[in-house]
Structures are given as C-alpha cells and as structure tokens.
C-alpha cells in the first residue's frame, strides 16, 4: 500500500523524452470504485506557482507505467503536455 504523502515525494518522469514533469500535487479518485483515476502535476509560472499559473497537467492512471521508490514513470504523449 502506498499513501498519498508518499506519492507526493516522488518525481514524475515521462518515458517518451525522459523529462521530469514535476511532483504530484493532487489525485483524482472515482468515488464509486475507490480507485485513482489520475494524478495531477501543478503548472508552473509566477511566484511559487501562484501568479500567472499555467494549467495543471492531469495524467490518467492508465498512463502510469511504474511507481518506484523515488520516481513515478509515465507514458504520456508529448503533444498532450502544454509548455
């Protein structure tokens, strides 16, 4: 079992380009099944992400390849990531 607090301490890395996407700020849960639907990576920009914040990156759970000790590997299409 993995706690949310433990997930937040792991880097999320896209295996398509090796880019570090950030750390998890939130998760989406299907309340009927109790399963995680997606992880949320905060958008950047502004002072500590508060001012002029970009859109958050929502990665569906089925795009997660591996949850490791320090890293979460995702297979996320590059064209879906907003720069």
Sign of torsion, CA 74 77 82 83?
positive
Q: Give the CATH number, domain containing residue 73.
A: 2.30.30.240
pLDDT confidence of residue 16 = 92
Q: Residue for token digits 């949310």?
A: 4
The larger pLDDT score, comparing residue 78 to residue 70, is at 70
pLDDT confidence of residue 82 = 52
What domain range includes position 49? 4-80
User: Residue 80: helix, strand or coil by DSSP?
Assistant: helix
pLDDT confidence of residue 46 = 45
18's tokens: 């090796």
Distance of CA 24 to the CA centre of its chain: 5
Distance (Å, rounded) from C-alpha 37 to C-alpha 31? 10
pLDDT digits (tens, 9 = 90+) for 5-64: 778 888 999 999 999 999 998 999 999 999 999 999 987 544 444 544 568 899 999 999
35's tokens: 């399963």
Counting the structural domains of the chain, the total is 1
pLDDT confidence of residue 55 = 80
């Amino acid at each position: 079992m993995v706690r949310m607090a433990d997930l937040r301490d792991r880097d999320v890395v896209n295996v398509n380009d090796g880019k570090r996407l950030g750390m998890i700020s939130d998760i989406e849960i299907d309340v009927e099944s109790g399963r995680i639907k997606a992880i949320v990576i905060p958008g950047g920009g502004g002072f500590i992400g508060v001012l002029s914040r970009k859109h958050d990156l929502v990665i569906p759970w089925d795009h997660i390849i591996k949850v490791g000790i320090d890293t979460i590997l995702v297979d996320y299409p590059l064209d879906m990531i907003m720069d």
